[in-house]
């Protein structure tokens, strides 16, 4: 389940860090473009170096500390991230994005109650804090079984930023779960237009096609999901065996038992 929330975290961090990098490198466009490429290639350690240099010079910059906490979280260094976010909040108790990041860290530690407190605090401080709505919606929908509340928050997040791929991705999954397949496809297609090789979105759309009994379309997406499921970011790595099993199920529904068995066998080495 963490894949879902990590997706929203990663993509929102990209947008925020790019904006921050613009300030750091306004006199050097090459550095900005390099930072952008690092983020899209999931090279968070190198992205951290940009923030580390800045924080060494400006240790009281609570925005930079919040961003570094995000990078550390995506790498999986949760305890280090907690230190940065605690320092950011000490420096500015009215900075909503710090509470949003704190909430995301709490989800990684499975402290959902504290996560909710922090998302609520972020929204209290800024009623237009898009990431807080997106994260709280994901928390409701996928961790607390509050589909209706989750959809309200995700709709709000999309309303605040209709180009936010992560909110559209999570809303698409929720629509699929609620059997609103056309709405799900609309959101997932949006994600794949922006990033055609997104293995998470491809797998999610494959699930949607499967539920619609469009098995050939589902197989196409599942095979692409396997291809691009590189494990560059371990927090977003899907179990390839699960995808192979889904392909096998598609072929079984198409009454192609030999091909179904082929993919079921492929799933075995992955512990499925």
Q: What is the pLDDT of residues 97-145, one digit of tens each?
A: 999 999 999 999 999 999 999 999 999 999 999 999 999 999 999 999 8
Separation CA 67–CA 52 (nearest Å)? 10
Say what the pLDDT of residue 27 is. 37
Residue 197: how many other CB atoms lie within 10 Å: 12
What tokens does 2 get? 């963490």
Listed in sequence order, the residues at least 6 apart from 135 whose beta carbon sits closer than 8 Å to its beta carbon are 5, 8, 9, 100, 103, 104, 107, 115, 119
Buried b (16+ CB within 10 A) or exposed e, 241-257: bebbbbbbbbbbeeeee
The distance between the two most distant Cα atoms of the chain, rounded to a whole number of Å, is 65
Say what the pLDDT of residue 146 is. 85
Q: Which residues of the chain, if any, have pLDDT below 50?
A: 22, 24-29, 31-33, 35-36
Quote the distance between the C-alpha of residue 51 and its chain's center. 21
CB-count exposure of residue 231 (10 Å: 0-12, 13-18, 19+): exposed
- How many CA atoms, within 13 angstroms, populate the side-chain half-sphere of residue 173? 22
Say what the pLDDT of residue 111 is. 96
Residues 178, 190: contact at Cβ < 8 Å? no
Say what the pLDDT of residue 253 is. 98
Say what the pLDDT of residue 47 is. 78
Say what the pLDDT of residue 44 is. 79
CB-count exposure of residue 92 (10 Å: 0-12, 13-18, 19+): middle
State pTM to two decimals: 0.82
Alpha helices in the chain (DSSP H): 2-24, 29-40, 44-57, 62-75, 78-91, 96-108, 112-125, 130-142, 147-160, 165-177, 181-194, 199-211, 215-228, 240-253, 257-267
Separation CA 42–CA 207 (nearest Å)? 25
Say what the pLDDT of residue 235 is. 62
Separation CA 129–CA 104 (nearest Å)? 14
Q: Which of 202, 203, 206, 173 is nearest to 187 (CA)?
A: 173
Separation CA 103–CA 122 (nearest Å)? 9
């Amino acid at each position: 389940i963490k894949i879902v929330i990590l997706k929203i975290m990663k993509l929102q961090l990209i947008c925020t860090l790019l904006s921050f990098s613009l300030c750091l490198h306004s006199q050097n466009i090459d550095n900005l473009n390099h930072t952008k490429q690092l983020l899209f290639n999931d090279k968070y350690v190198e992205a951290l170096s940009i923030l580390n240099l800045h924080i060494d010079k400006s240790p009281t910059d609570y925005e930079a500390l919040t961003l570094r906490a995000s990078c550390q979280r995506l790498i999986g260094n949760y305890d280090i991230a907690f230190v940065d976010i605690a320092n950011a909040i000490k420096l500015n108790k009215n900075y909503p994005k710090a509470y949003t990041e704190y909430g995301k860290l709490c989800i990684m530690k499975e402290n959902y109650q504290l996560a909710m407190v922090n998302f609520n605090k972020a929204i209290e401080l800024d009623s237009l804090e898009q990431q807080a709505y997106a994260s709280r919606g994901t928390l409701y929908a996928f961790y607390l079984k509050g589909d209706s509340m989750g959809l309200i928050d995700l709709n709000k997040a999309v309303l605040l930023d209709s180009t936010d791929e992560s909110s559209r991705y999570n809303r698409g999954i929720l629509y699929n779960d609620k059997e609103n397949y056309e709405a799900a496809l609309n959101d997932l297609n949006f994600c794949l237009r922006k990033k055609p090789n997104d293995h998470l979105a491809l797998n999610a759309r494959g699930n949607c096609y499967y539920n619609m009994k469009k098995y050939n379309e589902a197989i196409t997406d599942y095979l692409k999901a396997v291809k691009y499921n590189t494990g560059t970011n371990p927090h977003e790595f899907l179990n390839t065996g699960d995808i192979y099993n889904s392909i096998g199920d598609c072929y079984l529904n198409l009454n192609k038992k030999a091909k179904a068995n082929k993919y079921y066998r492929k799933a075995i080495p992955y512990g499925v």
